[in-house]
Amino acid sequence: MVKKDFAFRGHPIEELLKLSDKDFSKLICSRSRRTLLRSGMDKKIEKKIEKAHALLQQGREAKPIRTHLRNIIVVPRMVGLRFAVHRGNTFEIIGIMPEMLGHFLGEFALTRKKMMHGRAGIGATKSSTAITARG
């Protein structure tokens, strides 16, 4: 079975890399389009992306780009880079894949943990009130 190459809304990744942000915004959903067109890409993040691409072209490994901005839209030039997205108390490292295009960075760094309940302790249930200390 032959694996199909990735295509975003019918456009291969090579074609998407040639598009500007304004042209790419026509391919994404309305909320992401509005965010991308109104605020654009943060200038500091833009410089860090360019620096990371320069390191990758030299064959060197780029460190993850640290950011607190969870509302950045994933655009094609970010594919292949790693971001350390703040999740409230720590940074979670996320590798950007083509399937993430058009989503917010914050969607991939969850801020809430799954609740895990342990066994009931003394005083946790009505039946445990009958337990008394004998001396």
For the segment 27-47, what is each residue's pLDDT rounded down to a tens digit? 999 999 999 999 888 899 999
pLDDT interval class at 116 (50, 70, 90): confident
C-beta pairs of 85-88 under 8 Å, 24+ apart in sequence: 85/109, 87/111
Residue 127, pLDDT > 70, answer no
What are the structure tokens assigned to 125, written together? 């249930």
CA 109, 114, 115, 117 torsion-angle sign: negative
**Full-model pTM:** 0.78
Of 12, 31, 19, nearest to 75 by C-alpha is 19
Please write the tens of the pLDDT for every residue from 11-24: 999 999 999 989 99
Q: For each of the domains in the chain, give its residue range(s) and CATH number, in order of start.
A: 7-109 (3.30.860.10)
pLDDT interval class at 122 (50, 70, 90): low
For the segment 104-122, the average pLDDT, to the nearest whole number, is 81
Can you give the pLDDT at residue 113?
80
Please write the tens of the pLDDT for every residue from 82-99: 999 999 999 999 999 999
Strand 82-86's sheet: what is its strand order?
65-67, 82-86, 91-95
Please write the tens of the pLDDT for every residue from 69-80: 999 999 999 999
